[in-house]
Chain A
Amino acid sequence: MMGELDPFVVAVIAAMGVATYVTKAGGLWLLGRVDLSPRVESGLEILPGAIIVSILAPELIGGTLATWIAAGIVFLVAWRTDSITISLGTGVVAILALRAML
Chain B
Amino acid sequence: MGGETTSQQGDAAGSESTTFSLAGAWKGFIACVPVALGVAGYGVLFGVLARQAGLSVAESTLMSATVVAGAAQVIAIGVWDQPIPVAVVVGTVFVVNLRYLLMGASLRPWFEELSPLQAYGSVFVMADENWALTMQELRSGNSAGAFLLGSGIAIWLFWVLSTVLGAAAGGVIDEPATYGLDFMLTAVFVTIAVGLWEGRSDLVPWLVAAGVAGGTAHLLGGQWYILFGGLAGAGVEMIRYDG
Query: A residues engaging B (CB < 8 A)?
Result: 1-6, 8-10, 12-17, 19-32, 36, 38-61, 63, 67, 70-71, 74-75, 78-79, 82, 84-85, 87-88, 91-93, 95-96, 99
Contacts and interface: CB of A to CB of B under 8 A. Distances in A.
A34 to B, nearest CB: 10
The binding surface of chain A is classed by DSSP as helix
Contacts of A8: 84
A5 B76 contact: no
A70 B187 contact: yes
A40 B235 CA distance: 9
Contacts of A12: 84, 86, 89-90
Contact of A56 (B107, B186, B235): B186
B153 interface: no
A14 B107 CA distance: 26
B101 A23 contact: yes
Given A28-B104, A82-B195, A16 B230 contact: no
Contacts of A26: 100-101, 104
Interface in B22-74: 41-42, 45, 55-59, 62-63, 66-69, 71-73
Given A17-B66, A51-B226, A92 B101 contact: no
Interface in B168-202: 168, 171, 179-181, 183-184, 186-197, 202
A30 B66 contact: no
B217 interface: yes
6 contacts: A3-B57, A24-B104, A43-B234, A49-B197, A49-B205, A50-B232
Interface stretch (B135-143, B154-162, B208-216): B208-216
A19 B232 CA distance: 21
Given A15-B90, A70-B183, A92-B184, 20 more contacts: A1-B171, A16-B63, A16-B72, A16-B73, A20-B97, A24-B124, A26-B100, A28-B123, A43-B235, A44-B98, A46-B233, A49-B193, A50-B205, A51-B92, A51-B95, A56-B186, A58-B225, A75-B194, A82-B195, A92-B181
Contact of B228 (A3, A39, A54, A95): A54
A23 B56 contact: no
A53 B159 CA distance: 25
The binding surface of chain B is classed by DSSP as helix
Nearest to B63: A13
B191 A78 contact: yes
B189 A55 contact: yes
Contacts of B103: 24, 27
Nearest to B107: A28
A10 B56 CA distance: 11
Contact of A57 (B102, B179, B210): B210
A3 B19 CA distance: 41
Given A25-B123, A58-B225, A84-B41, A13 B189 contact: no
B195 A78 contact: yes
Contacts of A43: 234-235, 237-238, 241
A25 B100 CA distance: 8
B186 A67 contact: yes
